[in-house]
Amino acid sequence: MAKKSTSTPTVPASKKAAPKKAAAGDFRPVASNRKAHFDYEILERYEAGIALTGTEIKSVRAGKMDLRDSYARAVDGEMWLYNTYIAPYDPASVNNHDPKRSRKLLLHRAEIQRMTSSAAEKGLTILALRVYIKRHVAKVELGLARGKRQYDKRRAIIDRDMDREARRSMGANRD
């Protein structure tokens, strides 16, 4: 019997597909620090990985975490995330993690040095703004922030109310 020839067509090197970019399905928000946007003026943003244990990543994927009052600080050339609450994972029972423990952030050395130097000389704070899952890996968005004064917060509330009223009146004009 003669074999059937099953040949796959080859694609010329010039027509090979470029690496795929992150699709919308590869990004899933988990938690955000909404209060940080009200209390601070965000100047720069950075993306960092988080070193988590097994029960922590399961709780993060379930969305059981709180970023309120969380901040980052460099210690011995490493960046650490403090005051982030990740709820204990219920099925783990005895082998659970400490919910408020410090977590190591995964950044390049140059990024750590740039963030700490600008935070130290300008009196800025490094805050955790949001946590998301990107390509099956937990990431945290850090923000270099300056605290707002009380009158700045009042101004932000007034501006937001004026924008809301303008949008409401524009919607009424369309109907």
Q: Give residue 22's pLDDT.
A: 53
Which two tokens mark 78? 């490493």
Residues of the chain with pLDDT under 50: none
Q: Give residue 3's pLDDT.
A: 57
What is 27-150's CATH number, 2.130.10.10, 3.40.50.720, 2.40.280.10, 2.30.110.10?
A: 2.40.280.10
Which pTM was predicted? 0.72
Which two tokens mark 100? 């408020």
Q: Give residue 97's pLDDT.
A: 87
The 3-state secondary structure of 2-27, one letter per residue: CCCCCCCCCCCHHHCCCCCCCCHHHE
Q: What are the Cα distances from residue 138, in Å, to 15, 22, 31, 118, 145? A: 34, 15, 11, 26, 22
- Map out the domains of the chain as residue ranges: 27-150
Q: Give residue 148's pLDDT.
A: 80
Per-residue pLDDT tens digits for 66-96:
999 999 999 999 999 999 999 998 888 788 8
Q: Give residue 74's pLDDT.
A: 93
Per-residue pLDDT tens digits for 109-129:
999 999 999 888 887 999 999
Q: Tell me the C-alpha distance between 110 and 117, whole Å.
A: 11
Q: Give residue 73's pLDDT.
A: 93
